[in-house]
Structure 1
Amino acid sequence: VVVQGGTFYNEAVLRAFEKEMGVEVIRPDIAGLMGAFGAALYGRNKAVPGKVSALLSREALANFTQETKSRVCGLCGNNCQLTVNTFAGGETFISGNRCDRPVTGKADSGERNLYAYKRKLILSYKPVPGKRGMIGIPLCLNMWELLPFWHTFFTKLGFAVYHSPLSSRDLYLKGQATIPSDTACFPAKLAHGHIQFLSKLGLDAVFYPCMTYNLDEGLGDNHYNCPVVAYYPEVIAGNCPEIKDTKFIYDYVGLHRPKDFTKKIYNILQRYFPGISRSEIREAGDAAYAEYAHHMAEIRREGARIMNQARAEGRRVIVLAGRPYHVDPEVNHGIDTLITRFGAAVVTEDSVSGLVDKFPTTVLNQWTYHSRLYAAARYCCEHQDCDLVQLVSFGCGVDAITTDETQAILQAGGKLYTELKIDEITNLGAVRIRLRSLFAALDEKE
Structure 2
Amino acid sequence: MIRLGIPRALLYYQYYPMWRTFFEELGAEVVVSPITNRNMLVAGTSRVVADTCLPVKLFFGHAISLADKCDLMLVPSIRSIKKKVYNCSKFLGLPDMTKAAVPEAPPILDVEIDVNRGKGYLYWNIYSAGKKLTKDPLKIRRAALAAWKAHQSYAQLMAQQGLTPPEAIEQMFPSSDHKEIPQTQLPEKSTTSIAVVGHPYVVYDELVNHRLLYRLRQARVRILTPEMAMPSHLEAATNRVVGRAHWTYEDEVLGAGEHYIGSGVDGIIGLLAFGCGPDSLMMDMTRRHIARSETTPFMSLTFDEHGADAGVVTRLEAFLDLILRKKRRANA
After TM superposition, the score normalised by the length of structure 1 is: 0.62
Is the 8 Å Cα contact of residues 353 and 375 (structure 1) preserved in structure 2?
no
How far, CA to CA, are the matches of 2:45 and 2:190 in structure 1? Answer: 45
Q: Matched residue pairs, number?
A: 304
The one of 141, 145, 148 equivalent to 1:289 is 148
Counterpart of 1:398 in 2: which secondary structure? helix
Number of the residue aligned with 1:336: 213
Task: Kindly state the Cα deviation for residue 394 of structure 1 after the two structures are TM-superposed.
Answer: 0.6
How far, CA to CA, are the matches of 1:388 and 1:407 in structure 2? Answer: 10
How far, CA to CA, are the matches of 2:222 and 2:85 in structure 1? Answer: 29
How far, CA to CA, are the matches of 1:311 and 1:373 in structure 2? Answer: 28
The one of 393, 396, 403 equivalent to 2:273 is 393
How far, CA to CA, are the matches of 1:328 and 1:182 in structure 2? Answer: 21
Number of the residue aligned with 1:65: none
Alignment of 1:102-181 (within 5 A): 132-179=1-48, 181=49
Number of the residue aligned with 1:200: 68
Change (3 A) 1:250 1:427: same
Alignment of 1:20-59 (within 5 A): none
Number of the residue aligned with 1:124: none
Task: Kindly state the Cα deviation for residue 399 of structure 1 after the two structures are TM-superposed.
Answer: 1.9
How far, CA to CA, are the matches of 1:185 and 1:159 in structure 2? Answer: 32
Is the 8 Å Cα contact of residues 77 and 95 (structure 2) preserved in structure 1?
yes
The one of 425, 429, 442 equivalent to 2:306 is 425
Is the 8 Å Cα contact of residues 391 and 419 (structure 1) preserved in structure 2?
yes
Counterpart of 1:388 in 2: which secondary structure? strand
Number of the residue aligned with 1:128: none
How far, CA to CA, are the matches of 2:243 and 2:284 in structure 1? Answer: 10
Is the 8 Å Cα contact of residues 190 and 222 (structure 2) preserved in structure 1?
no
Task: Kindly state the Cα deviation for residue 307 of structure 1 after the two structures are TM-superposed.
Answer: 8.4
The one of 187, 199, 202 equivalent to 1:323 is 199
Question: Over residues 194-228 of structure 1, what are the superposed CA-to-partner deviations in whole Å (9 max), with x where a residue is unaligned?
Answer: 11121111x321111111123x5xxxx85433222
Number of the residue aligned with 1:439: 320
How far, CA to CA, are the matches of 2:308 and 2:183 in structure 1? Answer: 29
Number of the residue aligned with 1:237: 99
Counterpart of 1:211 in 2: which secondary structure? strand
Is the 8 Å Cα contact of residues 380 and 386 (structure 1) preserved in structure 2?
no
How far, CA to CA, are the matches of 1:259 and 1:423 in structure 2? Answer: 40
Change (3 A) 1:394 1:353: farther
Is the 8 Å Cα contact of residues 222 and 368 (structure 1) preserved in structure 2?
no
Q: Does residue 302 of structure 1 match 2:183?
A: no
Segments of 5+ residues of structure 1 without an aligned counterpart are 1-131
Percent of paired sites with the same residue: 22
How far, CA to CA, are the matches of 1:387 and 1:174 in structure 2? Answer: 36
Change (3 A) 1:403 1:175: closer
Q: Does residue 188 of structure 1 match 2:68?
A: no
Counterpart of 2:10 in 1: which secondary structure? coil
Change (3 A) 1:417 1:294: same
Task: Kindly state the Cα deviation for residue 177 of structure 1 after the two structures are TM-superposed.
Answer: 3.1
Number of the residue aligned with 1:351: 228
Is the 8 Å Cα contact of residues 353 and 373 (structure 1) preserved in structure 2?
no
Q: How big is the alpha-carbon RMSD for the aligned residues of Structure 1 and Structure 2?
A: 2.8
How far, CA to CA, are the matches of 2:324 and 2:46 in structure 1? Answer: 47
1:196 aligned partner, one-letter code: I
Task: Kindly state the Cα deviation for residue 395 of structure 1 after the two structures are TM-superposed.
Answer: 0.7
Task: Kindly state the Cα deviation for residue 324 of structure 1 after the two structures are TM-superposed.
Answer: 1.5
How far, CA to CA, are the matches of 1:348 and 1:225 in structure 2? Answer: 21
Could you list the structure 1 runs, at least 4 aligned residues long, displaced by more than 4 angstroms after superposition. Answer: 254-260, 304-312
Question: Over residues 306-358 of structure 1, what are the superposed CA-to-partner deviations in whole Å (9 max), with x where a residue is unaligned?
Answer: 88998962521111111121212122221111222322122212212534534
Segments of 5+ residues of structure 2 without an aligned counterpart are 165-181, 328-332
Counterpart of 1:391 in 2: which secondary structure? strand
Task: Kindly state the Cα deviation for residue 237 of structure 1 after the two structures are TM-superposed.
Answer: 1.3
The one of 123, 144, 150 equivalent to 1:262 is 123
Task: Kindly state the Cα deviation for residue 361 of structure 1 after the two structures are TM-superposed.
Answer: 2.1
Is the 8 Å Cα contact of residues 255 and 261 (structure 1) preserved in structure 2?
yes
Number of the residue aligned with 1:382: 262
Is the 8 Å Cα contact of residues 172 and 190 (structure 1) preserved in structure 2?
yes
Is the 8 Å Cα contact of residues 154 and 284 (structure 1) preserved in structure 2?
yes
Is the 8 Å Cα contact of residues 353 and 376 (structure 1) preserved in structure 2?
no
Is the 8 Å Cα contact of residues 42 and 61 (structure 2) preserved in structure 1?
yes
